[in-house]
A and B are shown apart, each in its own frame.
Chain A
Amino acid sequence: MTDFGFTLSRSSALDLTKADTRLYERLCSLSPDARTCMGCGSCSATCTAGPYNGMSLRKVILGLQRGQDVRPMLKGCMLCGKCTMVCPRGINTRQLILNLCRIYD
């Protein structure tokens, strides 16, 4: 076939209806406080690892709600627990991350 130099780009749109949120639901059954995240970004702002490897707990939680694979980001966490100290909703974020690692294992 002649190559006209065109390609089809995949849509970057998220589809809420098709999102597979089973992982998120499992996480919420272990860490019910995960549901109360309001996306403030304090955890990501204070994260020691984030600036170097892209770890953002806010994006991890959001990604799970949208049914995305967040493992690559999760790998960047050193489990230092700093984020737990700043979360205004009092979410035990370090525990949440540990629970998520267990689910992925």
Chain B
Amino acid sequence: MKENVVIIGGGVAGMEAARQLLFLGYNPIVVEQQDHLGGHVSQWNRLFPDMASAQDLVRHMGEEIVDANIFLETKVNFINRLREGYLVMLSNGVSVACRAILIASGFRLFDATRKEEYGYGVYDHVITNADLENWFNGNADSRIPAAPKSVGFVHCVGSRDLKAGNSQCSKVCCMTAVKQAIEMKEHFPDARIYCFYMDLRLFGKKYEDFYINAQQEHGVQFIRGRISEVGETLDGRLQVKAEDTLSGKPLRAQLDLLVLMAGMVCNPDAAELARMARLEVDSDGFLRSADNIAGIVGSNRPGIFYAGACTGTKTVPETLAEARSAALDIHRFIQGK
């Protein structure tokens, strides 16, 4: 009989790990709270840097793991330590004995209503990066005007913000803003697009090319200054205030749409798992890897492994690489090597 490995989280990390574990001859059991696999990626439209379809990626990955045990709309109720390994009790009544558990619980998008000064949920035309992807996916959103003349993007919403309780950079949202700015310009060629940033952090493959392209081909204007407050004018437009720090002057603008780059915070469920399995939490609030350089996918407990954004903000390719790495580490652990 094939050996069970419990994978907590059916996003792209959990899916990729399941694929590799199937290949290595195990019986992966994927536990997912939602009614579908793919996590955040399944809600996205196109992925940088090659603008690949997120839906296609998730669909393709799903086809690769049809032989895995997948429990949707299921939670982990508790994890008990056995003499050898763990007993994982699920909310659907199933309990699984296993020697290895992979935690792939991912991140949660920062709740943008908490940055009250930006008026998300208060003003009519303030949305988040995730809302915009949802609209790109063809779902109607009455907050997006039919022909906006000007669109603003606010970087670092709930990231690099000690007051919001998250001092870390979310890493992918600068690039997401640049990508979405280009996509908005493609939808609305006559609109003026502004990105309000504190620092532009475009570290990945081809990211800088996107930045240059956004400037040169799409005329996106990058304004170094964080929007301090948003108000609404009598005619329902948004009035934003920032400092144009490169000229040292206060700056105002009226916008028809404001997109907030909500950052990544650790999924609160990971804290619950940490409590159940006595896992350590790092100073940034994410799960603490055995070693932040050489042992990212390891935990402080034998047989418990991590993949993806449960240990920090990750890009999709980083997440997939970690999932493969974790699958291999699980294989070695079970083989006793």
Contact = CB atoms under 8 A, between A and B. Distances in A.
Interface of A: 11-17, 28, 32-33, 35-39, 58-59, 62-63, 65-66, 89
A98 to B, nearest CB: 20
Interface stretch (B14-22, B248-256, B314-322): B248-256
Contact of B216 (A11, A15, A36, A62): A36
B231 to A, nearest CB: 14
B244 interface: yes
B250 A12 contact: yes
Interface in B188-241: 194, 211-212, 215-216, 219, 221-224
A35 B215 contact: yes
B246 interface: yes
B150 interface: yes
Contacts of A28: 219
B247 A36 contact: no
Interface of B: 150, 194, 211-212, 215-216, 219, 221-224, 244, 246-247, 249-254
- Consensus secondary structure, chain B interface: strand
Contacts, number: 52
Contacts of B224: 39
20 contacts: A11-B250, A13-B249, A14-B247, A14-B249, A14-B251, A15-B251, A15-B252, A16-B251, A16-B252, A16-B254, A17-B252, A17-B253, A17-B254, A33-B216, A35-B215, A36-B216, A38-B211, A38-B222, A58-B246, A65-B221
A16 B246 CA distance: 14
A37 B222 CA distance: 10
A13 B247 contact: no
Given A63-B247, A65-B221, A13 B252 contact: yes
B48 to A, nearest CB: 19
Nearest to B237: A17
A15 B244 CA distance: 10
A31 to B, nearest CB: 11
B247 A66 contact: yes
A82 B222 CA distance: 26
Contacts of B215: 35-38
Given A39-B224, A62-B247, A14 B216 contact: no
Given A33-B216, A35-B219, 9 more contacts: A12-B250, A14-B249, A14-B250, A15-B251, A16-B252, A36-B215, A38-B211, A62-B246, A62-B247
Nearest to B220: A35
Query: Taking each of A13, A28, A63, A89, which has the highest tally of chain B beta carbons within 10 Å of its own beta carbon?
Result: A13
A13 B251 CA distance: 5
Which 3 pairs between the two chains have the least Cβ-Cβ distance? A16-B253, A13-B250, A17-B254
A14 B244 CA distance: 8
Contact of B212 (A12, A36, A58, A62): A36
Contacts of B212: 36, 89
